Chains A and B, each alone.
Chain A
């Protein structure tokens, strides 16, 4: 079973089309909607966990892209505000994938977004809230 956490952005002109259901009907995928906000006439946003055979996941995401949906993985959405981080290292204790780690030479806290799986543990644990999810600004959490 292959799983992927993704963020979908729907341009205003396609928010009236039933696209996500095709993941299950035509691509044999399971999906779990974690967060969503789709309103007429506005860009819609949805955070989705998709699971199934890897080949089907790839095909399903290609289908969404072909229909105008912007697809990104959640990890691409986790960001560190470097001006706020003061390099303490508290996050390195809980990051399950070592995307946040301490450089053994300089003791700097490094962040490698490509290793991030988007678990969001670091966001609440950071003492100065330097880690953020980009789409949290898009009112999806409100």
Chain B
């Protein structure tokens, strides 16, 4: 006997998607539905809730096979547009990481460094169909005698190019301020002295893991929107921490769950994959991801009805506390407060700014909704759910 009044399966929802009868709404639309009709009616009415996020996600990169030349090379060092790649895998395989700067980039020698081009930009250029210069070196072997290889390639020339991001879609993130007297340049953006601004970086109520906070539907094999194409959740991402402190509604108060995700670059769109340069910090890749949440029962309906008023995060000092490894919370704020344009910290009004594009997050949730409504995107039932919080 189920503990729920509404019980739906992935198969039933997929059958409805195929016959064009599934009811799909975005996470923003679901807030009003749950509020007006209650979780049970909402669960009966809605089959899928779509989410979205579009932010810099540093732990991103791509596995690329560039094909054998004649004569062949066992590439031991490879560069794409002068960005070093990891080549310690098979002869013509490589991994390019989003945060790898161009070789000979001045980095932070002239502070703050600009980091104008790096691995994330190479990925964006490839997806945009632009030519990219590939350079490979080797020590030469009997079977692969070539020691040097250089070629201009486009994504369409590459036999294999797959985005494999070890940590994306962070469930919650700190709100950063700077309490020192000097401007600091961080991965949370430029922070003015004396708490001159407070930067935050999630899509809040639209963000995938805030809508399934206890990982009741997401895991290995969940089909997702990634960089404009269909892709998959591989498993939990690096630093996945399900045991973070949570609110009564199960929302983590600090950074918690993460996803390792993948997708075929050849199907992607550069609108949803953007190389970024964070002043004084480094380069990265902004990734657009959307996860569909099947409304299997009234509990999941209730959870997808979460709004910015009920999602909290911690304000942390990135001027002194965080770099010293003592990033204790200065205050707890809601995403509704962050989105209002300012928060109050120690009695002082502090201007807030996002690093995550809410406009694009909304576009992703809408696009995913459209795909499902057209019947071209079915839900993937996870073979294993993400590790959840330890039983208390």
Contacts and interface: CB of A to CB of B under 8 A. Distances in A.
Contacts of B112: 124
Interface in A51-86: 86
A109 B341 CA distance: 12
A118 interface: no
A108 B192 CA distance: 23
Interface in B275-303: 275-279, 284, 286
B354 interface: yes
Given A106-B359, A107-B339, A93 B54 contact: no
A127 B276 contact: yes
Contacts, number: 78
A88 B356 contact: yes
B316 to A, nearest CB: 16
B263 interface: no
B357 A89 contact: yes
A90 B286 contact: no
Question: How would you classify the secondary structure of chain A's contact residues: helix, strand, loop or mixed?
Answer: loop
A93 B279 contact: no
Interface string B177-201: 0000000000001111000010100
A134 interface: no
A102 interface: yes
A106 B192 CA distance: 26
B279 A125 contact: yes
Contact of B274 (A86, A91, A92, A109): A86
Nearest to A101: B341
A94 B197 CA distance: 8
Contact of B199 (A90, A108, A109): A90
A129 interface: yes
Interface of A: 86-94, 102, 104, 106-109, 124-125, 127-129
Given A102-B341, A124-B279, 5 more contacts: A87-B358, A88-B356, A89-B354, A107-B354, A129-B116
Q: 4 closest Cβ contacts across the A-B interface?
A: A93-B353, A127-B276, A107-B358, A93-B197
